[in-house]
Every structure is written in C-alpha cells, then in structure tokens.
C-alpha cells in the first residue's frame, strides 16, 4: 500500500505492515477530526471510497441506512489498486466529481502539501470548509450514524455499552482478523489470526440464535461494521486469505442474519461480490502471482430467511 512522506508519494512503504514475527499490524489512521456543527446544505461532504474496501463499506452502509446520499457525494476508486494506489478515471462511474483526481494520493496532497501517512479509503472531505474531516472509518460510522435529523440513530445511548463491547471484540478478531490471517508471513502468525476469526464467528453464531441483531431487536452500527466483513467472507476471505475452516453459508444463524440485513434494499445496493473478487484477487507476488480471478462461488443472497420472529423474542 502506498504512503506519502513529507508530501511525496511512495509506492513502497518503508515501515512495513508485518513485523519480525510475521504478524500483520494495521497502522493507525492519521486524520481524525470531528464533524463541524450543522445544519448542512446538500452535498456538503464528499467521500473517497472503494466498493471492495470493507472499511469504506462501513461508511457507505451508514450513509445508505441513514439516508445521507444527498448530503454526501462519493468518488468510487477503481476495484484494483495500481502502483499509484487507489485510482480514478477522468469520467464515468469511477471518476472523482470533486477535484477530478486520478489517484487518491492527489486528494491527500490537498489535506496538507507535506502530508505524511498511508493513502487509504475512506476519506471524508468537507466542501464548505475545504478540509479533510477524517480517514478513520470507525469515527465516521459513529459521527454519521448519530447525526440528528437523518434516519435512525445507529448508536443510541441506551445501547452504547453493548455496541462498544461488540465492536471491541469483533474488530481485532474478525474484521482485522481476516487480514492478520491473509497477510501473515509465518505459519504461527497465520494460525493465530485464523483461530481468532473462527472463534469470533462461533461466538456470534451462538448469540444470533436468540437475537435478531447483535444488540437485540434494533439495528446498530455494530451490525454494519460486522456486515462489511460477512459480505466478503465467502467470495474473498475464505479463498484469498485462507480463512477456510467454514464458510459464512455454513453458519445457519449468521447466514440468516446476513441475508436479513441484505433484504434491506439500501444495504443490498452496497454489496458488490464481483468487485470484491476483482480486488482481493488482484495480482500479488505473495498471494496471487498470476492475478487470476475465480468465477465462483455463486451465493444466493436473496434466499428466504425468517429473522423477524426473533424480534418479539428479544424485545
């Protein structure tokens, strides 16, 4: 992944993600400002995203569920990164309507001409103030998910302890756990990530046997943060990242839960399995030298499910 150092873009990061023990360690986000106070005019914010990035997907899910499409425009990067990192076309579906950048690092150069840090999505830009708000997905999900006057509150105060507890468990073991397995450089590091992934999935499966959502009968940000990983599991993580003990479809309650979320049209519109495969099976010297993208698996997200009945049992 590319990095900027003192405003200069570098294809290779001199501070690698893997340490001497071969374990993958995600680096911290560098832009973490708060949203300015509203009210906001339509199109006030602009989001740099990529369909196949789960961290950007969290924010796209929040935007969709909260009904923030008119407030936040989006520039979708092309599915496969290049030596220039995340890149954009000059027009069409993968163009940037704000600055017209052809590579994401050009947008980061507008944050600070001497910017130093990773070049990642999501990145939220404030048009009115002409500055970057944040490139930390967890912060953006919380800030946007609790905006008053737009859709449901995705982190209501009475459920905040539960939400935070789930986030704190799911992020290191599952959301990032698949990357710890997939990007590991030693057998031991791979197995540690692998075990965390499936221990966490097993725990969630048990919980969802008697709960429609993670926090009972109400959709919250914890569900959206989890869903971004589930949406990619069988088409990407199971194969490309060797998280192959079980598939999502092998978990009756988790698979029903994922389809329950997908049954919401606003969520379904954010799910792009073919783009996930194109991204996760990009050419990689370590993981996929030939860059061949598999044709399967076929997954029927519209398969009937009946999770609604659990709401009355948990309310």
The DSSP line for 213-274 is: BTTBSS--HHHHHHHHHHHHIIIIIHHHT---S--GGG-HHHHHHHHHHHTSHHHHTT--HH
What pTM was computed for the model? Answer: 0.94
Please say whether the structural domain 157-314 has been given the CATH code 3.90.79.10: no
Q: Label residue 120 by pLDDT band (50, 70, 90).
A: very high
Q: Who wins on pLDDT, 248 or 82?
A: 248
Q: What are the tokens at 291? A: 């860059």
Name the strand (E) or helix (H) holding 204. helix 187-208
Residue 314, SS3? helix
Tell me the mean pLDDT in the region 45-51. Answer: 98
Q: What is the pLDDT of residue 315?
A: 44
CATH 3.40.30.10 in the chain: give the residue spans: 3-145
Domain range 3-145, CATH architecture:
3-Layer(aba) Sandwich (3.40)
Q: What are the tokens at 236? A: 């990407």
Q: What is the pLDDT of residue 311?
A: 76
Alpha carbons 88 and 92: distance in angstroms, whole number:
9
Catalytic residue, candidates 48, 53, 76, 257? 53
Catalytic residue, candidates 48, 76, 179, 251? 179
Q: Does the annotation count 88 as an active-site position?
A: no
Alpha carbons 139 and 30: distance in angstroms, whole number:
12
Is 229 in contact with 222 (CB distance < 8 Å)? no
Q: Does the annotation count 179 as an active-site position?
A: yes
Residues 6+ apart with CB under 8 A from 92: none
Interval 85-116: pLDDT, tens: 999 999 999 999 999 999 999 999 999 999 99
CATH 1.20.1050.10 in the chain: give the residue spans: 157-314
Alpha carbons 135 and 126: distance in angstroms, whole number:
12
């Amino acid at each position: 992944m590319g990095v900027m150092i003192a405003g200069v873009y570098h294809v290779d990061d001199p501070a690698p993600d893997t340490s001497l023990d071969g374990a993958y360690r995600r680096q911290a986000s560098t832009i973490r400002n708060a949203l300015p106070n509203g009210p906001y005019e339509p199109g006030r914010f602009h989001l740099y995203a990529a369909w196949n990035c789960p961290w950007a997907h969290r924010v796209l899910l929040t935007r969709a569920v909260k009904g923030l499409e008119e407030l936040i425009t989006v520039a979708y990067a092309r599915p496969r990164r290049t030596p220039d990192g995340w890149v954009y076309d000059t027009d069409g579906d993968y163009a940037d309507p704000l600055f017209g950048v052809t590579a994401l690092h050009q947008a980061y150069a507008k944050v600070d001409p001497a910017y130093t840090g990773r070049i990642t999505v999501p990145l939220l830009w404030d048009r009115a103030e002409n500055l970057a708000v944040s490139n930390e997905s967890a912060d953006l999900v919380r800030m946007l998910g609790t905006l008053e006057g737009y859709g449901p509150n995705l982190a209501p105060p009475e459920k905040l302890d539960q939400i935070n507890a789930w986030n704190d468990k799911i992020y290191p073991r599952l959301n990032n756990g698949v990357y710890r397995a997939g990007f590991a450089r030693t057998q031991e590091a791979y197995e540690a990530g692998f075990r965390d992934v499936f221990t966490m999935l097993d725990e969630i499966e048990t919980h969802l046997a008697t709960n429609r959502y993670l926090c009972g009968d109400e959709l919250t940000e914890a569900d959206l943060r989890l869903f971004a990983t589930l949406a990619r599991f069988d088409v990407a993580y199971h194969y490309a990242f060797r998280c192959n003990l079980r598939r999502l479809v092998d978990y009756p309650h988790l698979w029903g839960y994922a389809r329950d979320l997908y049954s919401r049209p606003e969520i379904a519109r954010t799910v792009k399995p073919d783009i996930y495969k194109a991204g996760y099976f990009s050419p990689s010297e370590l993981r996929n030298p030939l860059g061949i993208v598999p044709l399967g698996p076929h997954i029927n997200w519209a398969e009937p499910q009946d999770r609604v009945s659990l709401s009355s049992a948990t309310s």
